[in-house]
């Protein structure tokens, strides 16, 4: 009996690779988002520390140039916070798109897998019927041989 062959196996393998690539892309984007959040937290901490330091320095005496530099630096940190927040929002949008593409890849792969499973069940059913037919034919031939031997015991 020949073994089961699924003619769309290359397509299934391609869709599995596509799904795996989508999973890797999603994980990579998730890692980028986590890194960006950590950077955002670092900038926020730097800003808080700087503001606390400036508060202490202003309590004491400070000159105009230092005040000007501190305002510029604080403005720079706030701009970095805003740009990092926008970057994270953009990455989240990319993440959602990647998640949708992963869902589509999984759905496509599942469709081919279901088709393969159906074809396999058909093959098993047909193979079982062929086996049964062969077994029946062997049994029938054995019965006929036994009947002939029983009718003609002298021919043995």
155 in a domain, yes or no? no
115 in a domain, yes or no? yes
- Model pLDDT, residue 67: 75
- Model pLDDT, residue 154: 66
CATH number reported for the structural domain that contains residue 102 in this entry: 1.10.287
- Residue 62 pLDDT > 80: no
Number of domains comprising the chain? 1
- Residue 89 pLDDT > 60: yes
How far apart (Å, rounded) are the C-alpha atoms in residues 147 and 156? 13
Domain coverage including residue 49: 9-150
Give the range among 10-14, 44-48, 145-149 with minimum mean pLDDT: 145-149
Give, in degrees to the nearest 5, the angle at Cα 128 between 122 and 129: 90
3 in a domain, yes or no? no
39 in a domain, yes or no? yes
Q: pLDDT, tens digit, for every residue of 103-132?
A: 999 999 999 999 999 999 999 999 888 888
pTM of this structure: 0.68
Contact 109, 19 (CB under 8 A): yes
- Model pLDDT, residue 110: 95
Alpha helices (H) in the chain, listed in sequence order: 9-59, 64-151
119 in a domain, yes or no? yes
Q: Residue 156 corresponds to which tokens in the numbers above?
A: 């043995």
- Residue 156 pLDDT > 60: no
79 in a domain, yes or no? yes
34 in a domain, yes or no? yes
Single out the residue of 1, 24, 153, 7 nearest to residue 101, CA to CA. 24
18 in a domain, yes or no? yes
């Amino acid at each position: 009996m020949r073994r089961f062959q699924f003619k769309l196996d290359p397509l299934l393998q391609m869709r599995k690779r596509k799904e795996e690539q989508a999973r890797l892309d999603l994980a990579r984007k998730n890692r980028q988002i986590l890194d960006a959040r950590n950077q955002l937290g670092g900038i926020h901490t730097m800003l808080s520390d700087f503001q606390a330091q400036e508060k202490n320095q202003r309590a004491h005496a400070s000159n105009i140039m230092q005040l000007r530099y501190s305002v510029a630096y604080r403005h720079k940190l706030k701009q970095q916070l805003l740009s990092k927040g926008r970057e994270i929002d953009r990455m989240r949008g990319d993440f959602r798109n990647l998640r949708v593409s992963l869902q589509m890849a999984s759905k496509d792969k599942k469709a081919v897998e279901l088709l393969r499973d159906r074809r396999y069940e058909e093959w098993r059913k047909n193979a079982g019927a062929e086996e049964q037919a062969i077994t029946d034919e062997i049994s029938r031939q054995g019965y006929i041989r036994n009947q002939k031997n029983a009718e003609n015991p002298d021919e043995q």
